Amino acid sequence: QQQVKQSPQSLIVQKGGISIINCAYENTAFDYFPWYQQFPGKGPALLIAIRPDVSEKKEGRFTISFNKSAKQFSLHIMDSQPGDSATYFCAASMRGANNLFFGTGTRLTVIP
């Protein structure tokens, strides 16, 4: 059973557009929600993370929006660039836990 559900599976956006990736979870014990970015042939790398005590976190062109009541969170990439083309994974973990539960990934392609 997938603990974190991610959509869409793939996404094509024009350069300068907004990319939006959505994730949903059921376990209310989750209290840490990171996003990882993975380029072909490389391992995932932490992009940005949020805790449920805030509804939004922004780092440069990347923003996480968090809706605790709906148990959903999303990644917004503003002014998307071809260099943003990668696979994005949302994830969740519980306080003090050692392991992360990953979504199934979204392959983003930004076309010039």
Partner 1 sequence: NAGVTQTPKFQVLKTGQSMTLQCAQDMNHNSMYWYRQDPGMGLRLIYYSASEGTTDKGEVPNGYNVSRLNKREFSLRLESAAPSQTSVYFCASREPGTVNQPQHFGDGTRLSIL
Q: How far apart are CA 4 and CA 48, in angstroms?
A: 17
CB of 105 to partner 1, least distance (A): 5
Cβ closer to partner 1: 62 or 89? 89
Q: How far is the CB of 15 from partner 1 (least distance, A)?
A: 27
**Distances in Å between the alpha carbon of 61 and those of 16, 79, 93, 101?**
11, 7, 24, 25
- Measured CA to CA, the distance from residue 90 to residue 97 in angstroms comes to 17
Return all residues near 53 (Cβ < 8 A) that are at least 6 apart: none
Q: Which is nearer to partner 1, 15 or 58 (CB)?
A: 58
Q: How far is the CB of 42 from partner 1 (least distance, A)?
A: 5
Please list the residues that pair with 87 across neighbouring strands.
38, 107
Of 2, 21, 4, which is closest to residue 108 (Cα–Cα)?
A: 21
Q: Which is nearer to partner 1, 20 or 49 (CB)?
A: 49
Least Å distance, CB 12 to partner 1, is 18
**15 vs 68, beta carbon nearer partner 1:** 68
Q: Please give the residue ranges that form the binding site for partner 1 (CB under 8 A).
A: 2, 6, 9, 32, 34, 41-46, 49, 89, 93, 95, 98-100, 102-105
